[in-house]
Amino acid sequence: GAGVSQSPSNKVTEKGKDVELRCDPISGHTALYWYRQSLGQGLEFLIYFQGNSAPDKSGLPSDRFSAERTGGSVSTLTIQRTQQEDSAVYLCASSPGGRSIYEQYFGPGTRLTVT
């Protein structure tokens, strides 16, 4: 079946511009996560959505970052006034929830380059 998809796959933007990254989770998955991975680094948690609960935003690095999940499905990560240090691969993952909530299925990522 279809996996997690993300768009765009690559995004080059100028410093100071806003960007939106999209994630389409696996159908029926209740949990959705955003991470970012900088070159040579591990994954940094950003935000977590679980069903209709309030999202866990504790990983967002600044108030320039925000995310929404509409209708319990598609999610958009928005970065306002991008900075060069925002350059990274942004990964989205979804999980089935319940007992399998920690088994995450990752999308291919969006590579963001801020020039």
Partner 1 sequence: SQQGEEDPQALSIQEGENATMNCSYKTSINNLQWYRQNSGRGLVHLILIRSNEREKHSGRLRVTLDTSKKSSSLLITASRAADTASYFCATDGKLVFGKGTKLTVNP
Per the listing, tokens 């999980």 go with: 95
Q: Find the binding residues for partner 1 in span 55-74 (CB under 8 A).
A: 56, 58-59
Based on C-alpha coordinates, what's the Rg of the chain?
A: 13
Q: Taking contact as CB under 8 A, which single stretch among the options 16-24, 67-75, 79-87, 107-115 is the one that binds partner 1?
A: 107-115
**Cβ–Cβ < 8 Å for 8, 19:** no
Should residue 49 be labelled a site residue for partner 1 when binding is judged by CB under 8 A? no
Minimum CB–partner distance for residue 13 and partner 1 (Å): 22
According to the binding rule CB under 8 A, does residue 7 interact with partner 1?
no
Residues 19-38 that bind partner 1 (CB under 8 A): 33, 35
Is 40 a residue that touches partner 1 (CB under 8 A)?
A: yes
User: Helix, strand or coil for residue 76?
Assistant: strand
Q: Considering the rule CB under 8 A, would residue 108 count as an interface residue with partner 1?
A: yes
105 sits near partner 1 (criterion: CB under 8 A)? yes
| Residue in 94, 81, 103 with CA at minimum distance from that of residue 35 | 94
**Would you give the distance in Å from CA 85 to the centre of its chain?**
16
